[in-house]
Structures are given as structure tokens and as C-alpha cells.
């Protein structure tokens, strides 16, 4: 039996030797060289698929309006560094309203951090761009709003003064005189001080915006002069302090001439009657009395007597 096992092992040995892996190291297959027309792809992590970069898949650049929205959201979440970074990314070539919002955010952040020195030049730039800018966030503290109000009170080169004037014969038609870089005037009114606001259409031409009141009664309004980009240049009133506008009163009728009044001619006739009666009485009296006798006085003198008549 032992001899049989030995013989079987000798018979199977060639097959086992052929199937045994070789001890010689096997070279790793080399990666084919890439051609110039096919750029080499970056190595990927195991199990991760890669694809060549595509312009269609790249995220589009955010619009200035979206950047401003993200910056305001960061401010609400107290992420001031993110809000500042986003606001500073708005360049001078952005639309005017986006630049205005970015300057507002930057100045507000400096004032929240009690850094008024850094906020001052930003506020000056802001009001040079939009002299009638109005900060309307009620949640801001006076340490933030006061520097805005102080800068708004200073003169700025693009500032426009709005003036309300009567216009035409229609008692409900008025004009807001503006000028400067004004391209349109926005007018918002309320029927009551606490009523719902509504816009009143205006037509701007020759440095004035003509409008007609929509109601017969008084309204509470505020107006803003805007340039072509929508930047505010001047204001008349404010949401918290509106201007009261009411239809004009019709002119008073001109007084009737005196010569058309009955009492005028009656007084004339009465005056004439009295005058005629007085004259007649004087004539009658004067005709009924004889003239007084003449008196002659004789004055003696060195030259003789000179007669002196006395009536």
C-alpha cells in the first residue's frame, strides 16, 4: 500500500509542478502612453468615476442680485465675515442697485462692529451714488442708523430737490418739479395714514412729473426722484412722514361790479334828491329876503373925507 502511494505521487508530480505558481516576480503591465490628442485624466479614488471637465457642467457665475441675497442671509445668520466677503465681491461694473446694496451691507457691518472710521468712506460713496437713500430696517440700533442719517444730511452732488406745484386747470392735477439726473418720479399714496399704499402714475417731461389724484379727497403721499438705473436722487416726504395732497379749491367768483347792484343806483338817486332839495331851499330863502341896506361911513383925513361903504 505504501509502495502504491509512492508510485501515485511520482506519477502526479509533473502535473503538480506545472500548476504551481512561479516564484519569479511578474512585471506589472505598463499603462499605454496617452496621445497628445487625449489629455491624461486625473487619478480617481477607488470606486469613483471621473469625466473630463465640461463647461456645461460647471456652475454658472452668480448674478449680483443673488450675491446680495446671500449676503443679506449671512447677515441674518450673524455670519458677518461671509456677508462682508460677498458684498466686497460686487465690483464697480455691477448694476447701480447692486452696488448700492453692497455698500449698505459693508457700512452696516462696520457700524455693527463699532468701527465708524471704516464705515465713513463707504457711507460717503453710498450717498454720492444715491443721495436720497433711506435705511428702512427697524431692527437696526441707533448706533447704525445715526451715521446714515448724518451722512444723508450733508450736501451731495447728485442730490435733487422735489417740489410740488399746481398744474393746469384740472383741480386734481399736480406736478413734481425735479431736474438733475432724474429720469422718472415714483409716487406712492395712501387714502388714509394707515391705509394700504398704492402707486400713482406720473409722466415725466421737461424736469417735472405730472400726475392726477385718483380720488376727490386728500391723500397721504411720498415721492422719490430716480435716475435711469433706479437710484434715488431726491425725496418728498417719507413712508413715516407723508405729504398731504388734496384737490385744489375752485377759484372764488369775481365780485359783481358796483354799477350792477340795485343799492348803488338807489343811493345815487337818493343823494341827488337831497341835493336838489337843498339847492331849492336855498334859492327860495334867498329870494324871499331883501338884501341888507348899504351903510356909508365917512372917514375924515388930511386929504378930505373918503366914503367907506359897509354892507
Q: What is the pLDDT of residue 180?
A: 93
Query: Contact, 126 vs 104, CB < 8 A?
Result: yes
Query: Contact, 131 vs 158, CB < 8 A?
Result: yes
* Percent of the chain scoring above 90 in pLDDT: 55
Weakest mean pLDDT among 1-5, 174-178, 197-201, 208-212: 1-5
Question: Cα dist. 290→278, 279, 281 in Å?
Answer: 20, 19, 16
Please name the helix (run of DSSP H) or strand (run of DSSP E) that holds residue 233, with its range, or none: strand 232-236
Q: pLDDT tens digits for 273-293?
A: 656 565 655 555 555 555 555
Domain ranges of the chain: 64-152, 163-245
Question: Cα dist. 96→226, 230, 231 in Å?
Answer: 12, 8, 7
Query: Contact, 75 vs 83, CB < 8 A?
Result: yes
- Would the pLDDT of 130 be above 90? yes
pTM (predicted TM-score): 0.61
Query: Contact, 246 vs 217, CB < 8 A?
Result: yes
Chain centroid to CA 41: how far? 55
Rounded to whole angstroms, how far apart are CA atoms 14 and 18?
6
pLDDT band at 309 (very low <50, low <70, confident <90, very high): very low
Chain centroid to CA 97: how far? 12
pLDDT band at 137 (very low <50, low <70, confident <90, very high): confident
Mean pLDDT of the chain: 77
Third-level CATH fold of 163-245? Immunoglobulin-like (2.60.40)
Q: pLDDT tens digits for 16-50?
A: 444 454 444 444 444 444 444 444 444 444 444 34
Average of per-residue pLDDT across 218-232: 97
Q: pLDDT tens digits for 181-203?
A: 999 999 999 999 999 999 999 99
- Would the pLDDT of 113 be above 70? yes
Average of per-residue pLDDT across 53-75: 73
Average of per-residue pLDDT across 259-265: 59
Amino acid at each position: 500500500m505504501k509502495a502504491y502511494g509512492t508510485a501515485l505521487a511520482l506519477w502526479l508530480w509533473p502535473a503538480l509542478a506545472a500548476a504551481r505558481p512561479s516564484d519569479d516576480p511578474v512585471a506589472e503591465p505598463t499603462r499605454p502612453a496617452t496621445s497628445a490628442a487625449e489629455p491624461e485624466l486625473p487619478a480617481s479614488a477607488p470606486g469613483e468615476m471621473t469625466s473630463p471637465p465640461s463647461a456645461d457642467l460647471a456652475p454658472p457665475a452668480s448674478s449680483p442680485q443673488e450675491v446680495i441675497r446671500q449676503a443679506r442671509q449671512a447677515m441674518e445668520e450673524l455670519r458677518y465675515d461671509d456677508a462682508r466677503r460677498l458684498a466686497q465681491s460686487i465690483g464697480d461694473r455691477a448694476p447701480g442697485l447692486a452696488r448700492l446694496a453692497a455698500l449698505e451691507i459693508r457700512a452696516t457691518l462696520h457700524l455693527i462692529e463699532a468701527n465708524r472710521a471704516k464705515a465713513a468712506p463707504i457711507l460717503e460713496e453710498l450717498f454720492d451714488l444715491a443721495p436720497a437713500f433711506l435705511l428702512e430696517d427697524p431692527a437696526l440700533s441707533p448706533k447704525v442708523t445715526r451715521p446714515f442719517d448724518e451722512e444723508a444730511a450733508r450736501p451731495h452732488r447728485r442730490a435733487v430737490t422735489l417740489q410740488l406745484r399746481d398744474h393746469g386747470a384740472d383741480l386734481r392735477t399736480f406736478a413734481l418739479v425735479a431736474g438733475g439726473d432724474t429720469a422718472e418720479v415714483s409716487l406712492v399714496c395712501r387714502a388714509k395714514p394707515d391705509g394700504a399704499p398704492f402707486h400713482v402714475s406720473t409722466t415725466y417731461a421737461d424736469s417735472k412729473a405730472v400726475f392726477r389724484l385718483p380720488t376727490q379727497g386728500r391723500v397721504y403721499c411720498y415721492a422719490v426722484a430716480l435716475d435711469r438705473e433706479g437710484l434715488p436722487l431726491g425725496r418728498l416726504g417719507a413712508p413715516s412722514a407723508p405729504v398731504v395732497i388734496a384737490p385744489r379749491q375752485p377759484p372764488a367768483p369775481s365780485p359783481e361790479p358796483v354799477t350792477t347792484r340795485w343799492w348803488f343806483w338807489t343811493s345815487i338817486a337818493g343823494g341827488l334828491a337831497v341835493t336838489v332839495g337843498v339847492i331849492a331851499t336855498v334859492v327860495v330863502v334867498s329870494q324871499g329876503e331883501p338884501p341888507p341896506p348899504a351903510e356909508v361911513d365917512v372917514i375924515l383925513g388930511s386929504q378930505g373925507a373918503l366914503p367907506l361903504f359897509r354892507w
